Amino acid sequence: MSASPEVSVVIACRNEEDNAEAIAAAVIEQLEQVCESFDIIFIDNESQDRTVEIIRGMCARDPRIRLIINTRNFGQMRSPTHGIYQAGGRAVISMCADFQDTPLLLPEFVRRWRAGTDIVLGIRESEKSGAVLSFMRNLSYRLQKRFGDYPIIPNATGFGIYDRRVVEAIRRLNEPEPFFRGLLVETGYQIETIPFKRPVRAGGRSNNNFFTLLDFALNGLAGSSKNLLRAPLYVAFFMGLLTLICLSGAILAAFTGRSVQLWLLAAMIESQFCLLFLFLGLLGVQIALVSERTRNQPLVLERERINFPAGY
C-alpha cells in the first residue's frame, strides 16, 4: 500500500489486551466503507499484559496496522500526541482503544473533513463518574474558561479527525506536555462537533484514577493559560483588602481598649501563608513547563516500531 494513506488512525493503548483486536477490526470495518487507503497506528505506553504481543500478530497479518512501542510510560498527554505526529495520513483520527470513542463516527468524520472542515470532534453527551471526579472535571472546565487563553470544548476528549495542516501547526508549537484538545482550539482552525452517547467500556479496566485525572487537569490548565501567572495578583488584592480590614479592626480595638493581638495575627496569616500555599503548586507546574522547554526533550522515546515503511 502507499506510504502516505489518505487517513491515519492513531490509537493510544496501555493494557488493552481485551480490546486491541476488536477495536482494529471495528475501525477497518468503518473506514473500508469510505476510504481507499488508510492505516492504523497503535502506540503502546508500556503495557504490562499481552497488548504488544497481540498487536504484533495483527501487524504480521495486515500491513495497514502499525505499532510504536515506547520505552516506558510517558503519560496520556505525550504518548498519544507522539503517535499523531508519526502519522502520515492527509488527515489523522485520534481515538482510544477501549471503545469509549465509538468507531461508528469515523465515516462521518471523514465525510466532513472531505467537505472542507479542518477539525471534527466527537463530543460525549454525558460523563458517568463518581461525585468527586465529576466535581474535579467541572472545576477544571470552569478554571480553564476563567483563566484560559482560549475556550475549551466541554466533553471533547480529542476524539476526532484533524487535517494534516492542523497537526503540523501543533507540532511547531513544540509543547513538552501537549494538552492536545486545547491546542486544537488554539490553532484557530475551523472546528465542527458531533455529539454521541458514550458507550460502556468494552473490556479491561481504565488506567485513570483520581490522581492521574488531577495531573491531567493541572497540566492542561497550566499548558493552556498564561493568565494563571496573573491570578496571584487578584488573590493578593483580595487578601490585601482582608489584611487592611484586620488592621483597621486592630486600630479600632486599640481605641476602644480591647485586645489587638487576634486582629494582628489574622492580618499576618492572611497576608502571607494563604498566598504561599495556594500558588506554590500552580507556579510549580508553570516552572516545570519552562524547564521542559529549555531541555527540548522528545515527547517519548521509542523502543521499537513495526510496519513503518522507509520515509514514513
Going by the DSSP 8-state scheme, the letter that residue 311 receives in this structure is T
Percentage of the chain exceeding pLDDT 90: 47
Report the chain's terminal Cα–Cα distance, integer Å: 12
Virtual CA dihedral for 224, 226, 232, 237, nearest 10 degrees? -120
Exposed / middle / buried, residue 294 (Cβ in 10 Å: 0-12, 13-18, 19+): exposed
Has residue 2 got a pLDDT over 60? no
pLDDT in tens, 100-143: 999 999 999 999 999 999 999 999 876 555 666 666 666 666 66
Map residue 153 onto helix, strand or coil: coil
Domain definitions of the chain by residue range: 7-217, 230-295
What's the CA gap between 222 and 268, in Å, rounded?
Answer: 29
What's the CA gap between 206 and 245, in Å, rounded?
Answer: 50
Query: What's the pLDDT at 25?
Result: 98
CATH architecture of the domain 7-217 equals: Alpha-Beta Complex (3.90)
Of the candidates 184, 167, 189, 280, the one whose C-alpha atom is nearest the C-alpha of residue 224 is: 184
What's the CA gap between 67 and 70, in Å, rounded?
Answer: 10
pLDDT in tens, 135-155: 666 666 666 666 666 677 888
Query: What's the pLDDT at 212?
Result: 58
Q: How much is the pTM?
A: 0.72
Query: What's the pLDDT at 113?
Result: 98
C-alpha grid cell, residue 208? 485513570
Has residue 74 got a pLDDT over 50? yes
Query: What's the pLDDT at 259?
Result: 84
C-alpha grid cell, residue 117? 472542515
Residue 1's pLDDT band, with cuts at 50, 70 and 90, is very low
What's the CA gap between 226 and 280, in Å, rounded?
Answer: 16
